[in-house]
Every structure is written in C-alpha cells, then in structure tokens.
C-alpha cells in the first residue's frame, strides 16, 4: 500500500490551493492500494468547519473533505484551531483535533508528502 500525506496551509477560499489539494486527495483515495492522510494547519483548519454555506455553483470544501474522510484520515492542528477560535464541536464528523507529534508520525510513515 502506498501512503500519501497532504499538508494544507491555506485558507479554504480565496485561492484554489485547498480545492486542488482536496481534488487530488479524493482521486488518490478512490484508488485501490492507496492510503491518504490530510493534515490541516494554519488557516486550512477552516476547511473542516461544519455548516459551510456557499453560493450555488461554488465548490464546497466541507463536502470535498468528506469524500477524503470516508477513505482516509484527517487531522487538524489543535494549536491552529485554538488560534482561530475553532472548537472541536464545530468540525465536520470524521476530522479530528491533532498535534504536531501526530504530523511528525504521519510524515515518517508516508511514502509521499505533498504540501499545499
């Protein structure tokens, strides 16, 4: 099994880095023999905010993240969540508060690490 870790740093909207990272992560997660993990840091923790409401026709990163969660793992930097006032109960189901130690472990275990 090939393991890929995605590290996202940018805010969910405003540019398309998070959008493109989640597109690729979902495509990899759909393939057999692939383990996908996502670690959201800095402003990217907002990608996992539940209850996102966007204009019709606009991509919704909450829904895209849900596709990755079904087949992979998603961790959020707890320090980054606290700095942005994001509580555990505001995060979509399947994503969880995590730590830099967890990110270090995932990095060491991964065959590939992609940073967005």
**DSSP per position, 22-71:** HHHHHHHHTSTTEEEEEEE-GGGGGGGBTT----TTS--HHHHHHHHHHH
pLDDT tens string 61-72: 998 999 999 999
pLDDT at 73 over 90: yes
Range of the domain at 15: 2-115
pTM for this entry: 0.94
d(CA 4, CA 110): 6
The number of folded domains in the chain is 1
pLDDT tens string 81-110: 999 999 999 999 999 999 999 999 999 999
Pair of tokens at residue 112: 């590939």
Q: What is the pLDDT of residue 102?
A: 98
Evaluate whether 114 touches 9 at the Cβ level (below 8 Å): no
pLDDT at 55 over 90: no
Provide the CATH number for the domain around residue 54: 3.40.1260.10
Evaluate whether 57 touches 23 at the Cβ level (below 8 Å): no
């Amino acid at each position: 099994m090939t393991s890929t870790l995605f590290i996202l740093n940018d805010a969910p909207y405003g540019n398309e880095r998070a959008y493109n990272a989640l597109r690729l992560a979902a495509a990899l997660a759909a393939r057999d023999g692939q383990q996908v993990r996502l670690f959201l840091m800095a402003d990217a923790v907002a990608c996992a905010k539940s209850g996102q409401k966007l204009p019709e026709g606009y991509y919704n990163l909450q829904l895209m993240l849900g596709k990755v969660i079904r087949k992979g793992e998603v961790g959020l930097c707890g320090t980054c969540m606290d700095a942005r006032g994001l509580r555990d109960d505001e995060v979509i189901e399947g994503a969880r508060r995590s730590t830099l130690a967890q990110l270090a472990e995932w990095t060491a275990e991964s065959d590939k690490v992609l940073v967005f």
